[in-house]
Amino acid sequence: MPSLQFWFELASTYSYPAAMRVETRAAEHGVTVDWRPFLLGPIFQAQGWNDSPFNIYPVKGRYMWRDLERVCAKEGLAMRRPSRFPRGSLVGTRVACLGATAPWGPAFVRALYHANFVEDREIGAVDVVAGVLRDLGVDAASVLEQTQGSEAKAQLRANTDEAVARGIFGAPSFLVGEELFWGNDRLDDAIAWAARS
């Protein structure tokens, strides 16, 4: 089956509608999804930004929130602007790395985006992440203990390094072989490309 790499950052606004739809849309075209969590922070820092560009450039940020509202409305997705942005995504992203090949992985990612962008919860907090895992029937204590291990930490660093090496500069991004697509707006194009490959 053709496959698509879905590169996402849990704090990223436009990754939210992409994460909620990618699996269903891909399946409609016979494409499987390889979930690749990474951190945007180190990538932004390399560009000289110590915050989200949506905060650094307020005019762009104001537009983004309105646009995200429209995008979500169009896709029938709930959206409430979080009271804090961006939220820390380190713990959740390490969990997502561990879940990337587990049956609960995609559901965990979607639940965390929902917690952030619909329920306005502090997804950077360990107890919030634990609650989301428990709601999915996952052994939260065991998974969270694993996130402290060197393997989980190395996996996330490797993902972020690979993102940089492959020319990724924002989230969400999609890769089909060497072909890169950036942004929620490119989700359907990326899936069509994968289906043709």
Least gap, CB of 185 to its own copies (angstroms): 5
Of 197, 167, 164, 170, nearest to 182 (Cα)? 170
Amino acid letter at 23?
Answer: E
Least gap, CB of 178 to its own copies (angstroms): 10
Bridge-based pairing of strands 32-37 and 3-8 is parallel
Per residue, what are the HEC states of 67-116?
HHHHHHHHHCCCCCCCCCCCCCCHHHHHHHHHHCCCCCHHHHHHHHHHHH
**Which residues contact its own copies by CB under 8 A?**
47, 57, 59-60, 62-63, 66-67, 70, 74, 167, 169-170, 180-183, 185-186, 189
Least gap, CB of 170 to its own copies (angstroms): 8
**Residue (109 or 175) nearer to its own copies, CB:** 175
Instruction: Say which residues have a Cβ less than 8 Å from residue 127's Cβ, sequence separation at least 6.
Output: none
**Residue (130 or 180) nearer to its own copies, CB:** 180
Least gap, CB of 69 to its own copies (angstroms): 11
Q: In what order do the strands lie in the sheet with 32-37?
A: 32-37, 3-8, 173-176, 179-182
**Residue (143 or 175) nearer to its own copies, CB:** 175
Bridge-based pairing of strands 32-37 and 173-176 is unpaired
**Residue (70 or 80) nearer to its own copies, CB:** 70
**Residue (157 or 186) nearer to its own copies, CB:** 186
What the block records as the tokens of 156 is 């996330």
Least gap, CB of 77 to its own copies (angstroms): 16
**Residue (85 or 182) nearer to its own copies, CB:** 182
Least gap, CB of 188 to its own copies (angstroms): 11
∠ at Cα 182 (24, 85), nearest 5°?
85
